[in-house]
Structure 1
Amino acid sequence: MSEILIDPPAGRAADIRARPGPASDLPVLTAHVALKRVIMLVNPMSGGVDSQALADATAILTDYDCDSSVVELTHDDFDVRVDAALAAGPDVLIVLAGDGTAGTIASRAGPGGPLIAPLPGGTMNMLPRALYDTADWKVALRLALEQGTIRSIAGGEIRDADSLHTFYCAAILGSAALWAPAREAIRTGQMRLAWVYARRALRRAFGGRLRYTLDGVAGRQTEALVLISPTISRTVGEDAGLEAAAMNPADAGQAVRLAARALFNGWRQDPSVRTTATRSADVRARSRIPAVIDGEPTLLRHEATIRFVPRAFRALAPPPTTAAGAVT
């Protein structure tokens, strides 16, 4: 079989792994998509990727009847290698990296590019868990290759004066974003660190309110606004838009209760939370807005615009199952 050729940067060897010819005992590739050429990008600096990942990925891909290559992403030539992988036109581009890296590559691919398989290689792994319902990248890889279908992934874009951010799971704007590190620390069993994050978030919870509009409706004020993609929302359909949840605790006591529910799930049932579907939103505040966008913390400028993107990119993943990976 012919190999997928990617021109490496000058002075570097090509990251190409040839596989042997087909054998009768090979695992069977999905019948839903023709997978003849596969490229896998691995970021060894991501939180969920160890030093053995490149070798393990190569060994797994060798089991399948397709031409495959594994490419290591490095800080020095990240853009060069991603661009080369996209230009090679693979049937699927598999990404083992953190949420931010996977989101960046998915954005570059867009709806007209190759299929993307974002494996859980980071800390929060929001999109991979929604698509594959596992935090084990090796399991997710085999699920994609053996059961994958073409799934159109919706998302959102957040634009402020300085930058454009994309998200495919959820964006948290305002004080609720301050609770995300505490929740993640609890999920990974780091209770002492969770307590430190929770105290910090509570101290800053009333640092400033957001004024927002949804689909042009007159602005309101809220403590925080959460925007959730239909990929993982339990309450909106694929084409309805983003699920918008406004969090409005009336006092410190309600804020503590809402924070607890945000940490341990069930926050939608809190009486201080209102949810609706929206295709666009505008937010503004007196100061910079803390945000967590697909698990990545950032600071937005004091004004930002959010837009629903119904067809952001195409993923290779099993058909969705009820509530798998849904935001809770």
Structure 2
Amino acid sequence: MRRYWFVTNARSGSTAETVAADIRDTLSAMGHDMAGRTGFPDDDLPSSDLLTRAGVAWMVVYAGDGTVNAVLTALDAWDGAILILPGGTMNLLARTLHGERDALAILRRLADQPPRHVSLPFVEADGHHAYAGLILGPATRWAAAREAVRDGQVGRLIRTVRLAWRRSFGAGLRVAGVPELDRRYQAVFATPCEGHIDLAAVDARTWRKLFDLGRMALTDDWTNAQGVTRAFSTSFRITGRGGTSALFDGEPHRLPAGAEIALRHGPANIIATFLAQAPWSASGWRSSSDGA
């Protein structure tokens, strides 16, 4: 039996309270005991000390990548295990760790096999972490339009779309430390991998390049489209004096000019059931049956 703490986010893309109840019932049937629950972001996340005092061995997160990011960042020094269940829109980390299984299928798989743990690489900048991916540059303004859609605010949506469109064709972003990226870009996508950051920089200011980018996004790997430059690095910097907008696993932050973006690795405490398509090496796995 393990004591676990349950984190949910009712505003995540596909979270449902009925599924959350099924998750609790399934964990109870597996012999696990819930020590507490957090409804993020309305409730504060528990501290490492609180979890330790409560005898918690597992943190179970049923939410999207943004909430998962907050949990991993807040508990980077905790020695318990973290189980990520898909409850958001993209669920990039959950899909990498467990394949296309839903939350209950993942729990059933864990009931049949000992939990395995992996250390996740992440991108760090100005104290913020990105585990699924970091987006830099003017194109991040489109995230505000996404939030307006979620909130059902039509007037705000129109305003944010207009601003995002103008910013996407503005001066652009420059970075230093990556020789292949020597231009101004509308967006730079940084994906943490084993041993490097996978960079895809977008400079699609002509209608032909925009059309090709959209076509490739629908039919193929968009990073092969015209206007996209690929590069690999372990660190780089933002140049200029004004800083830039950034999305860390979909959550917006403002990075100052000169901010360094670097590859880091977390502790080996993330529960995984499937890693064949993981962007990092499976050699980081360690097997365990005690939930530590």
The normalised TM-score by structure 1 is 0.68
> Is 1:222 aligned to 2:187, yes or no?
no
Q: Give aligned pairs, total.
A: 271
Alpha-carbon distance, 1:103 to partner: 1.4
Matched letter for residue 281 of structure 1: F
**CA 1:211/1:118 → structure 2, altered by over 3 Å: closer, same or farther?**
same
For 1:131 and 1:77, locate their aligned partners in 2 and report how far apart those are by CA, in whole Å.
Answer: 26
Matched letter for residue 39 of structure 1: Y
**CA 1:184/1:275 → structure 2, altered by over 3 Å: closer, same or farther?**
farther
CA offsets, 1:120-172, max 9 Å, x none? 2223322112212237322233344544411111111111xxxx210111111
2:34 to 44, 56, 69: 69
Matched letter for residue 229 of structure 1: P
For the residue of structure 1 that corresponds to 2:174, the secondary structure is: strand
Q: Quick one: percent identity of the two aligned structures?
A: 28
Alpha-carbon distance, 1:279 to partner: 1.0
Match of residue 78 from structure 1: 44
How do 1:195-210 and structure 2 match up within 5 A? 201-210=164-173
The answer to whether the 8 A contact 2:15-2:88 is kept is yes
Instruction: Considering Cα pairs closer than 8 Å and 6+ residues apart, tell me whether 1 or 2 has the greater RCO.
Output: 2
For the residue of structure 2 that corresponds to 1:210, the secondary structure is: coil
Match of residue 92 from structure 1: 58
> Is 1:277 aligned to 2:244, yes or no?
no
Alpha-carbon distance, 1:306 to partner: 0.7
The answer to whether the 8 A contact 2:23-2:103 is kept is no
For 2:211 and 2:146, locate their aligned partners in 1 and report how far apart those are by CA, in whole Å.
Answer: 14
For 2:46 and 2:221, locate their aligned partners in 1 and report how far apart those are by CA, in whole Å.
Answer: 43
Match of residue 10 from structure 1: none
> Is 1:291 aligned to 2:246, yes or no?
yes
Quote the RMSD (CA, aligned, Å). Answer: 3.7
For 1:181 and 1:76, locate their aligned partners in 2 and report how far apart those are by CA, in whole Å.
Answer: 20
**CA 1:89/1:153 → structure 2, altered by over 3 Å: closer, same or farther?**
farther
Alpha-carbon distance, 1:313 to partner: 5.0
1:315 to 270, 282, 290: 270
For 1:322 and 1:259, locate their aligned partners in 2 and report how far apart those are by CA, in whole Å.
Answer: 25
1:120 to 86, 89, 105: 86
The answer to whether the 8 A contact 1:37-1:91 is kept is yes
Question: Which sections of structure 1, spanning at least 5 residues, go unmatched?
Answer: 1-35, 231-237
The answer to whether the 8 A contact 2:83-2:271 is kept is yes
Question: Which sections of structure 2, spanning at least 5 residues, go unmatched?
Answer: 280-292
The answer to whether the 8 A contact 1:46-1:98 is kept is no
1:102 to 57, 68, 85: 68
> Is 1:165 aligned to 2:158, yes or no?
no
Match of residue 7 from structure 2: 42
Match of residue 33 from structure 1: none
**CA 1:77/1:268 → structure 2, altered by over 3 Å: closer, same or farther?**
closer
For the residue of structure 2 that corresponds to 1:268, the secondary structure is: helix
Matched letter for residue 221 of structure 1: R
For the residue of structure 1 that corresponds to 2:21, the secondary structure is: helix
The answer to whether the 8 A contact 2:3-2:56 is kept is yes
The normalised TM-score by structure 2 is 0.75
The answer to whether the 8 A contact 1:107-1:313 is kept is no
For 2:144 and 2:221, locate their aligned partners in 1 and report how far apart those are by CA, in whole Å.
Answer: 18
Question: Comparing both structures, which one devotes a greater share of its residues to helix?
Answer: 2
